[in-house]
Amino acid sequence: MEDPVTQPETGSHYLQPDRNLAMELVRATEAAAIRAAPFIGRGDKNAADGAAVDAMRAFLGTVNFDGVVVIGEGEKDEAPMLFNGEHVGNGRGPSCDIAVDPIDGTSLTAAGRQNALSVIAVSDRGSMFDPSAVFYMDKIVTGADGIGVVDISQSIGDNIRELAKAKGKQPEDIRVAVLDRPRHAQLIEEIRAAGAGTRLLLDGDVAGGINAARYDSRIDMCVGIGGTPEGIITACAVKALGGLIQGKLMPKDDAERERALAAGHDLDRVLGANDLVRGDNTYFVATGVTHGELVDGVQRKGPIIRTESLVLRSRSGTIRRVEADHLAAKWL
């Protein structure tokens, strides 16, 4: 990890250079994406996910860190998925919480649609919010312009108007990403009534949230109810992008509500980025499985397999795009 170091002569501070863990983790998302690629458009999302999981687990085992999966695919008896509580890495190096989604968008992959990603998010040990009690969360994500302006407690119309003003736009210039689900029918109507346009997502709200936080994206805001694990993964990326994320837990039924209350959760509390993942040392890595606005998907070019990845780190504020050519013969 990095520590501030004082130079005696000047009193100034700099960050001592260290190993960027994300540049090692990207090998795992690349491997998962490559192994999932043969299943694109084949209609079998479980086969695609299984291939991605196996590849990701194998490559994570070579990474120099002691990771514990906080957000995975469930409990150990559901193996071979990467399960909650599983230790990954070679056990040496920094101790970390890790969130994995070998394919965010398995249905997109199976159907051959855009925006499927292989994703890993990492933070210091004990810093990730435990989402086990409540699976769904109402979320709002914007770029830096939304900080101090947008609030999940406001109406969507007010948020659109306030964000438009902060960005020097008109409401009709605002584009809002939202999962295309029956539960969002009223929300979609309200977005359009406010004059904004919608970008309806078939799946994959991690990509939607990150695009909303990017300064160079055509999406200005991502809203709606999606998975709590995806919210925490998105928070790791948003911290590196300097954007805004807020969420409120949304139990799906009375039984889940009771479990949430028993776990000590305040269901009226607005969770910010620092509640979802504490500290300023988060990593986010995503490799495209299928093409999308965030990154290109896996491409076969003669003897080469090409991947594109997004690599983010909050402490250094770096945003890297990694394009890699892999010799296809090595993946047979």
Annotated binding site: 49, 73, 101, 104-106, 136, 181-183, 203-205, 227, 230
For residue 15, CA distances in Å to 7, 113, 280 come to: 11, 42, 13
Give the Cβ contact number of residue 190 at 10 Å: 17
Strand partners, 13: 6
Classify residue 4 as exposed, middle or buried by CB count within 10 Å of its CB (0-12, 13-18, 19+).
exposed
Residues found in the chain: 332
Helix (H, G, I), strand (E, B) or coil at 118: strand
* 8 A C-beta contact, residue 273 and residue 244: yes
* 8 A C-beta contact, residue 48 and residue 39: yes
Q: Which segments within the chain are labelled E, that is strand?
A: 4-6, 13-15, 66-71, 87-88, 95-104, 117-124, 136-142, 175-179, 197-201, 221-227, 244-249, 271-272, 283-288, 299-301, 304-313, 318-327
Strand partners, 178: 200, 223
Sorted by sequence, the CB contacts under 8 Å of residue 275 that are 6+ apart come out as: 129, 269
Give the full edge-to-edge strand order of the sheet including 175-179: 197-201, 175-179, 221-227, 136-142, 244-249, 271-272
DSSP for 124-178, written as a single string = ETT-B---TT-SEEEEEEE-GGGTTT--TTS-HHHHHHHHHHHHT--GGG-EEEE
**Known binding site for Mn(2+): residues?**
49, 73, 101, 104, 230
CA distance 49 to 35: 9
**Known binding site for substrate: residues?**
104-106, 136, 181-183, 203-205, 227
Q: Give the type of residue at 206.
A: V
Lookup: tokens for 218: 């055509």
